[in-house]
Amino acid sequence: MSREALQHLSEGQVLTGVDLTRAEAVALSGTKLVTATPEGDGWKVAAGQWVGAVRCGDLKVRVAPKVGAVKVLQLLARAHGVRNLHVDADQLGLADDADLSTVLAVLFEREAQTALAQRPQRGYRTEDQSLPVVRGRIRLVDQALRRFGVVTPIEVTVDEWTLDTDENRRLRAATRVLLTLPGIPKATRSGLRRVDRMLAEVTLLPRGARLPPWISTRLNRHLHRLLYLADLALGGGSVEHRVGDVVAHGFALNMAWVFEALVAQVLEEECLRSGPGRLLSQQTYALDEGERITIKPDLVVSAGSEVLAVADTKYKLLDDDGSFPNADSYQLITYALRLGLSAGHLLYAGKPLSHPGVHAIRGSDISLHIHAVDLTQALPDIERQVHEIHRRLVVACGPSAPSTGASGTPEDLLQPAGQLLSPSAFAAPK
């Protein structure tokens, strides 16, 4: 199998007899996008649940999602609490087989052209400085402890009117991440470089440094879409793995995580809207009396200290007859027993079941409820499927608790801005 075939992989696809060096194989496996194992005279390269694109020297590897790159970006945005992200592929000039990193980079660059059309937004930033003259507010304690009676320099706190704001730091960090990705169109790369030059005064934080969350306000309303896209770029899967002199870098995204985050986000919103309880993700519980064994269900609905329902998401396709791996059922039975529940819920990515997905477990009063969420459907249909799952969770856990009445939808995010996204895009932050 030729090396060029690695540019046209899809989820779950396996290639055999690929000509790779050992360093390339180890570097590619380290990115998690694919795994490479020796087989005969070549290497077996297997794509799993990760999608994206990486470059390793002159070698390019792309894994396309089954639902399409634009759809994955919409699902990822919705998982971050962003509603109805519409992307016009024709307007953006995207190819039918464009990978996820290309779609994100093109969308970010085009939106930046609109949001930063006039100039980057300045703002006040509070800084502690040592100056020869009084400016701002004197820090009397620091002056006494650091200067020991010396008049200058003076320790002051200054509110600087500057381009170096938290929002602009986030935008420049996202721009730099996108510039490192392979396969970005030349025009898009040039546009990203222009954005980087516009933000040249903005501090570049060290790699791995955490940026503070941005806050939506009236003043930065025109940046909301661009900031959300920056969040996707920074919180996505920028990866790099080095083996000796061989470096593999690019953008990889775990579809299992996207599915779990999407379901959790929509369920959380529905719990806040109609109850009962609230949703907890990846909560840890001790399984044995000595607390040496723990369990960590994907999703738990609780009201105070009382657990109402438990569910696990599985980014797997069910068989035609609706069967699923036994290990999944063992896991949920354990969760239900530990949490004192009579029902456990398994949420799969796939076509709707043609029969009731309820299994009564012999020797106990526990039943397993199987649900399927079809990710090939339009986003409103996916939300309706998850809302139906929430309804079945409520039925399984008994009478509904009082509703909190919270919607979590800031009104200022409902206003249209920008040209490439629909007016309803980015309606509600997480």
Percent of the chain with pLDDT over 90: 31
Q: Is the pLDDT of residue 337 over 90?
A: yes
pLDDT band (50, 70, 90) for residue 383: very high
Model pLDDT, residue 319: 58
327 pLDDT higher than 50? yes
pLDDT band at 77 (very low <50, low <70, confident <90, very high): confident
What's the pLDDT score for residue 195? 94
Q: Select the more confidently predicted residue: 149 or 429.
A: 149
pLDDT tens digits, residue range 209-233?
A: 788 888 888 888 888 888 888 887 8
Residue with tokens 């954005």: 195
Within 10 angstroms of residue 223's Cβ, the number of other Cβ atoms is 25
- Looking at residues 10-17, what average pLDDT do you find? 91
β-pairing, 9-10 vs 59-64, is parallel
Instruction: Taking each helix axis as running N to C, give the angle between helix 255-274 and helix 69-79, from 0 to 180 degrees, rounded to the nearest 10.
Output: 40
Q: What is the pLDDT of residues 236-269, one digit of tens each?
A: 566 666 777 777 777 888 899 999 999 999 999 9
Radius of gyration of the chain from its Cα atoms, rounded to whole angstroms? 25
> What per-residue confidence (pLDDT) applies to 394?
80
Where do the domains of the chain lie?
Answer: 3-118+174-253, 123-157, 275-396
- What is residue 241's predicted lDDT score, i.e. its pLDDT? 64
CATH 3.40.1350 fits 275-396, yes or no: yes
